[in-house]
Amino acid sequence: MRLNNKIVLVTGAASGIGHAVTDLFAQEGATVVAADIKAPDQPYAAGVETMSLDVTSETDWKAAVAAIVEKHGRLDVLINNAGIIAYEPLHELSVEAWNRMVAVDQTGVFLGMREAVRAMRGKNPGSIVNISSIWGAAGVAGAHSYQAAKSAVRNMTKNAAITYATDGIRANAVLPGFIHTPLTDAQAADLNEATVGATPMKRGGTAKEIAYGALFLASDEASFVTGAELVIDGGYLAQ
């Protein structure tokens, strides 16, 4: 029960990494609010609460955190997981596509951190875990807007970690490598094969392997960990 009595909000919880985090955290004793704009692709663990949340909407974020605090008295952990991916190269990237990527993958994280900090600061210690990507740390052909947004998430996390360290609020990032999720399943097979082939362990990761990393950062076991980047990528970035 590593998260016993913790109140947790997970975004992008309907599938993939978000769903795995939701179930694992619930099994570890947390009260988990699973937030997404769509219904889950399979049932959650027992006791999981659900809410609709568009992470690009300031109004939705304010309402979501306020509802959690009103019902449970506090928010202990935020997992900023919601995200999209696209592989347009710079010369083909439209302003509309750029704005959409930034809205979900960067602004959504900003809004979540801001509302979580407001709920936690001066009231209770807290942990924020932002899901970035190895593509926020290493180059990949195309994917210009995705790399820009995920790179920003890394420094946004470090900024929050330094700014709120004395408030007892920790902020850390997880950098997944290639992970088998509905998002990656929808990608071109040759792209997936190339990424897995370039991974030293020669396999993709599972959503639960990312969830276990987030579990450590969310738990009190990581009480002296802030501003860190936990890379879970089968060795990709070690090359």
Active site residues: 146
Which of 54, 16, 53 lies closest to 34 in space, CA to CA? Answer: 53
Question: First CA to last CA across the chain, in angstroms?
Answer: 36
DSSP summary character for residue 45: P
Which of 54, 102, 51 lies closest to 75 in space, CA to CA? Answer: 51
As a 3-state breakdown, the chain gives helix, strand, coil percent values, each rounded to 5, of 45, 15, 35
Which of 1, 11, 139, 106 lies closest to 68 in space, CA to CA? Answer: 11
Q: Dump strand ranges (E) for the chain.
A: 7-11, 31-36, 49-52, 77-80, 126-131, 169-176, 179-180, 205-206, 229-232
Q: Is residue 113 within 8 Å of 128, Cβ to Cβ?
A: yes
